[in-house]
Structure 1
Amino acid sequence: MLDKLQNKTVLVTGGAGFIGSNLCETLLSNNIKTICLDNFATGKKENIQPFLKDKNFKLVEGDIRNLEDCHTACNNVDYVLHQAALGSVPRSIKDPITTNDVNVSGFLNMLVAARDANVERFVYAASSSTYGDHEALPKVEDTIGKPLSPYAITKYVNELYADIFNKSYGLNTIGLRYFNVFGRRQDPDGAYAAVIPLFVKQFINHESPMINGDGSFSRDFTYIDNVVQMNMLAITTTNKKALNTVYNVAYGDRTTLLELTELLKKHLSDFDDTIKNVSIKHRENRVGDIPHSLASVDKAKKLLNYNPKFNINDGIKEAVVWYWKNL
C-alpha cells in the first residue's frame, strides 16, 4: 500500500502527539521521508525520541498558528497528514478562544501553506463531534446535527474550509472523522485525559475510576491501528471518487462505559489480579457529551477498502500491555 510513497515526503502535523507519533512510526518503518511539525503544547518529545536518529525523519518545532512555520514545514512536501489540534470538549468550553485559534486559524494556515507548496493531498483529522445533536445511529457521513461544543464547531469548520480549498484552489483533501481513538502513547495525565488511558492508570494504581452518569452512555471506541490504516489508505488511494469528502474512522460497534471498565479490569487482571476488585464511582453527566455514538464505516470500506482489524476487546488487550510496560 505504501509503495507509492517511496521517494515522496509526508508532513505529519502534531507528529509528536498520540495519533501523530503513531503515523510517523508507520511511515518511517516503511522507509518514507517524514517531517514532524509540533509545538509540544500537547505532544511529547519522548514520543518521537526513537525517530530522531532516523535519516528519513525531520523535526520542525513550530506552531500552526504561525503561517511562516506552516510554510517552512510544507516546503517540498508531497502529502500532509494534519493531526495538530487542541482536542477535548471540556477544554473548548472552558477556553473557546484558544481552541478556535488552533483548530480554525491554525487549520486555515495549514491549508494555505499546503496550497502554496502544491501539496498533492491534504488529509486531516476531523471529528465525530460534528454529528452534534443528531440522534440517529449509526452515524452516516452525509447527515449531521447542530454542534454541541466549541470544539465541535471548530472541527466542522475544518470540513467547510477543506471543501472550499478544493473548489477554489484544486487542493485535494480527505477528512477523517475519528471516533474515540485509543491505544499506545495516549496520555493518561492532565485535566483533559481521554477516558481509556485515564481509567487504565487509575486501575493500575488501585483507584476507583469516575464514570460520568450511570455508565450507559456508549462510544465507538477505535484502536489506533485502525486509525493508522485509514490515514495510509487516504494518502495512497488512486480512486478519484474517494477524494474531497469525509469518512468515519471507527470499528463500527459501540461499548458502554460500564462494559469498558469491565474489559479494562479483565485484561489488567492478567498483570495484577487484585484490579478486578477495584470499585467504580459515578458523577453527573458532562456538559456537551452526547449519549451514544456509533459509526457506519460502509463508505470507507467501499471507497478506500478500509478493513479495521481491531475490535474493542482486541484493542484494549494490546493497549493494556503497552500501558503496563510504560506507566
Structure 2
Amino acid sequence: MRAVVTGGAGFIGAHLARTLRERGAKVVVIDDLSSGRLANLSGCDVEFLEASILDRPMLDTALGGADVVVHLAAIPSVPRSVANPLASHHANATGTLEVLEASRRAGVRQVVLASSSSVYGASAVMPKQEDMPTAPLSPYAVSKLATEAYAIAYHHCYGLDVLPFRFFNVFGPLQPAGHAYAAVIPAFVDAALAGRPLPVQGGGEQTRDFTYVGSVVRVIADAVERGVTSDRPVNLAFGAVRR
C-alpha cells in the first residue's frame, strides 16, 4: 500500500507516518514545514516532499500511484485563525479542496481527513455526538466544518471513499510547547518542568476529552488497512472527559 500523509511532519502526522511504515506501507509525506518539523521524521523511512498542499503540481507528484491519502495538513489553533482568518481558510478549506481534487485525478481509493471537535461550538451537551447540530464559533472551526463537508460532497458527487474524523484535544510526544498557540497539556508539562505556575484559563471548570496520539494513529492506521469509510463525520474520541 502506498499512503500519502499531508502534514506528515507535524505532531500527529509524524506519528502516523511511523505507524504506517511499521505496518509495511510505503509512505509519502508532503509538508511545507510551517508548523511541522523535519526532525519529527528522523530515522523514519519515508519519501518527503517539502511543499504546500496549495501547490497543485507538487500535490499531483505526491499523490501519483497512491492508494490512500490521510489529510492532516492545516493551520491549527483557534487563536491563529482569529488573528488571520484568510490564511486559515486558504490552508484548511481550500487546501482540503485541492487534496480532494488531486485524489480524484490520481484515482486514490480512500481519503481520511482530520476535522475537529471545535465544529460543535460552545454547546454544553455532553458527550458530543455526531448527530448534534454544529455551531462553529471561529474561522478555524468553520474551516474544519468545510473540510468534512467537502469530503462528504466528493463522496456523493464522485464516489470517492472518505472518512472524516473529528479530533478531540490530541496530546502526546512531539507536541510543541514553546509557542504562543501551544495546546494545554504540553504547555502544562513545559511549565511544570521549568518550575513555572501552570497557565490556567477561566475558572478551571472547563471539560475536555483528551485523546492520546498513539490511540489516534492506531485508529487511523486500522481504518486505512481495513478500508473503512463513512459518509458522515466520525468522532475520534473515547469519552474520558477531564476537567
Give the counterpart of 1:29 among 13, 22, 25. Answer: 22
Helix, strand or coil for the counterpart of 2:52?
Answer: coil
CA contact (8 A) 2:164 2:230 kept: no
Q: Does 1:157 align with 2:150?
A: no
CA contact (8 A) 2:9 2:38 kept: yes
Helix, strand or coil for the counterpart of 1:103?
Answer: helix
Q: Deviations over 1:120-161 (max 9, x none)?
A: 100011100011133311111121232111100000011111
Aligned mates of 1:142, 1:236 — CA distance in 2: 27
Q: Does 1:250 align with 2:233?
A: no
Point out 4+ residue stretches in structure 1 off by more than 4 angstroms.
none
Structure having the higher Rg: 1
One-letter amino acid of the structure 1 residue matched with residue 4 of structure 2: L
Aligned mates of 1:229, 1:153 — CA distance in 2: 27
Alpha-carbon offset, residue 243 of structure 1: 2.6
Q: Does 1:97 align with 2:90?
A: no
CA contact (8 A) 2:19 2:218 kept: no
Matching of residues 307-326 of structure 1 within 5 Å: none
Partner of 1:121: 110
CA contact (8 A) 2:110 2:227 kept: no
Aligned mates of 2:141, 2:196 — CA distance in 1: 31
Helix, strand or coil for the counterpart of 2:92?
Answer: helix
Q: Deviations over 1:170-210 (max 9, x none)?
A: 11100110000000111111111111111101100001121
Segment of structure 1 superposing worse, 22-31 or 173-182: 22-31
Give the counterpart of 2:63 among 48, 71, 74. Answer: 74
Helix, strand or coil for the counterpart of 1:212?
Answer: coil
Q: Does 1:44 align with 2:37?
A: yes
One-letter amino acid of the structure 2 residue matched with residue 91 of structure 1: R
Alpha-carbon offset, residue 118 of structure 1: 0.6
Aligned mates of 1:27, 1:229 — CA distance in 2: 9
For structure 2, which runs of at least 5 residues remain unmatched after alignment?
A: none
Q: 1:238 to 1:40 in 2, by over 3 A?
A: closer
Partner of 1:222: 211
Partner of 1:63: 52
Aligned mates of 2:88, 2:122 — CA distance in 1: 20
Matching of residues 254-269 of structure 1 within 5 Å: 254-256=241-243
Partner of 1:294: none
Give the counterpart of 1:203 among 174, 184, 192. Answer: 192
With structure 2 as the length reference, what TM-score do the two structures score? 0.97
Alpha-carbon offset, residue 45 of structure 1: 1.0
Helix, strand or coil for the counterpart of 1:60?
Answer: strand
CA contact (8 A) 2:7 2:13 kept: yes
Backbone CA RMSD of aligned residues: 1.2
For structure 1, which runs of at least 5 residues remain unmatched after alignment?
A: 1-7, 257-327
Aligned mates of 1:248, 1:160 — CA distance in 2: 15
Residues matched between the structures, number? 243
Aligned mates of 1:104, 1:254 — CA distance in 2: 29
CA contact (8 A) 2:6 2:31 kept: yes
Aligned mates of 1:228, 1:164 — CA distance in 2: 25
Segment of structure 1 superposing worse, 155-164 or 245-254: 245-254
Alpha-carbon offset, residue 238 of structure 1: 5.0
Identity %: 38
Aligned mates of 1:145, 1:27 — CA distance in 2: 32
Q: 1:170 to 1:238 in 2, by over 3 A?
A: same
Partner of 2:222: 233
CA contact (8 A) 1:226 1:250 kept: no
Helix, strand or coil for the counterpart of 1:245?
Answer: coil
Aligned mates of 2:226, 2:24 — CA distance in 1: 19
